[in-house]
Amino acid sequence: MYLSVSSSGSESGNLLLNDSLKIEEPTTIYDDQINLIEPYYIDETVNKFSSSKWRDVWAAVFWILNLMLLALISIFVKNENNPDDTTSDKANFFEVRWDLKNVSAIMISAIILSFILSFVWLEAIKRFARTLIIITLFLNICSFLVSAIVMFYYGSIISGIGMLVMFFVSLFVSIFWRSRIPFSTAVLIEVVKILKQFKSMIIISLIGIVIQISWVLIWSVIVYRTSNLQSGLWSIYLLFSYYFTSSVINNIVHTTCAGSYACYYFNSDQLNGDPTWNSLRRASTYSFGSICLSSIIVAIIKTLRSLARTALKNENQVVKCIFNCILSFVEWLSEYFNAYALIHVAIYGKSLLKSSKATWTLLKERGIFALINDDLIGNVLLLASAVTGIVSGLFSAIWAHSVFEGQIWFGFLSVGFLIGFCLTLVIFEPIFAGSMTYFVCFADDPNALQQSNPELYKKFRETYSFTF
């Protein structure tokens, strides 16, 4: 897979994606009508998509040793409380097989329906991005108002006041976010267009969720086989290990998608072929250590939060609420920061520490704009996922009601909703990664977009504003 790179405006050559790409001197671009666009960060000592060095190797080794330890202990420690196998008669067997046939048909149909609706949503988002962003802002405001009314109606005064406060806050915020809607709209349209061009990112996301489910099953077996180990430390380690590997899987998908979008951003006019697989290769080899290190940090915070929630189980409700809010915010902040840090890892192939420094510079100077952009786009993706989940759930419930007796349709309603909601979120994961990546790339080096895609650069420049 090659990139054709113009060096001085007339000369061009073919370079592999992992070859060095020359970074130009940072310049200041003046917008005659709106704002001053100035690159916040350009590292002249590091080439984009450089993958010649292995980063944070010790973290990757630690992850491998972690899996080896789990495997060894689960092999040599046996659970002596295995239940005796039970048998059923032939009639029950055929009855169960018949039920499984109907259940499988409903679930498979729900998955297919969710796939179809997800791709319909991709087209709808591309065509009506601005309208959908405005709708989600309106629904967000209305949801707090409706919640406040319901709380007051049922006599929950404190909760009602809280929802009422959130209503006024969301209304106030939405008024000041209006100026950011055009830029978020432009980013969302471009990111969806790229995703439809390189559908392999969707394949990567689906592979990631399959591996994630497999890991949950494997981890559950390990927990069952080692249940005889009455050790608090072992339980803590199991919890940490679960979060660790789960985060590694998610971060590989995120870094791969970020690398693909960044490659398109910097070289869209000279890109031949799909950059996704080369991005996956870099994420799973040279940058894998940085991904593991990022996952260690997130896993530690998640484990501490789980332990704190257990320790506060018998505490006062107010104390529990305060601590849960604080711990939830810390967990969200760590995941949010790491998501941006891994984008720098995907672009420059640097260590996590250096990428974190660049991320801190970005968020310190323009973090509020990144947060607004992510929230506006994230709301649209959540709305699309929720609608897909509702349709999938209703479809499953109606089918189940026509096949099974009793109230079993309610269970299919819940399962169908989860299938539609989660599957759509998985398919939309590259969109969210792409919107973050494009924000970083444009804040980092707007000149590159001017060279690779002048039309998109003009659109971004007209909508990219640092003032409300």
pLDDT in tens, 17-34: 343 333 344 444 334 333
What predicted TM-score, i.e. pTM, was given to this entire model? 0.79
**Kind and range of the H or E element at 169?**
helix 157-177
Residue 356 lies in a domain: no
For residue 168, report the phi and psi dihedrals to the nearest 5 degrees. Answer: -70, -35
Residue 42 lies in a domain: no
Task: List the structure tokens of 327.
Answer: 């711990």
Residue 103 lies in a domain: no
pLDDT band at 243 (very low <50, low <70, confident <90, very high): very high
> What is the pLDDT at residue 207?
92
- Looking at the 3D structure of the chain, how many domains does it have? 1
Domain holding 337, by residue range, is 55-77+198-350
CA–CA distance, 359 with 451 (Å, rounded to integer): 24
CA–CA distance, 137 with 141 (Å, rounded to integer): 6
**Kind and range of the H or E element at 4?**
strand 2-6
Flag whether pLDDT at 338 surpasses 60: yes
The beta-strand segments (E) located in 129-224 are none
* pLDDT mean across residues, the chain: 80
> What is the pLDDT at residue 251?
94
Residue 401 lies in a domain: no
Where is pLDDT greater, at 94 or 379?
379
Report in angstroms the alpha-carbon separations of 425 from 79, 255, 269, 411.
Answer: 37, 17, 30, 21
Residue 188 lies in a domain: no
For 133, other C-beta atoms within 10 Å of its C-beta total 23
> What is the pLDDT at residue 29?
39
Q: Which residue type does 127 have?
A: R
Task: Render the burial of 177-187: b for 16+ CB within 10 Å, e for the rest.
Answer: beebbbbbbbb
Flag whether pLDDT at 121 surpasses 80: yes
CA–CA distance, 258 with 428 (Å, rounded to integer): 13
Question: Stretch 319-327: mean pLDDT, rounded?
Answer: 78
Tell me if residue 37 falls in helix, strand or coil. Answer: strand
- Residue 235, Cβ density class (10 Å: 0-12 exposed, 13-18 middle, ≥19 buried): middle
Residue 191 lies in a domain: no
Beta-carbon contacts of residue 428 (< 8 Å; ≥ 6 apart): 118, 121, 381, 384, 385
CA–CA distance, 257 with 246 (Å, rounded to integer): 17
pLDDT band at 78 (very low <50, low <70, confident <90, very high): low
Residue 102 lies in a domain: no
Q: What is the pLDDT of residues 410-462, one digit of tens each?
A: 888 888 899 999 899 889 999 999 999 998 888 888 888 888 788 888 888 87
Tell me if residue 46 falls in helix, strand or coil. Answer: coil
Closest to 296 in 3D by CA, of 54, 62, 69: 62
Question: Stretch 36-42: mean pLDDT, rounded?
Answer: 48
Residue 309 lies in a domain: yes
H/E/C letters for each residue in 421-452? HHHHHHHHHHHHHHHHHHHHHHHHCHHHHHHH
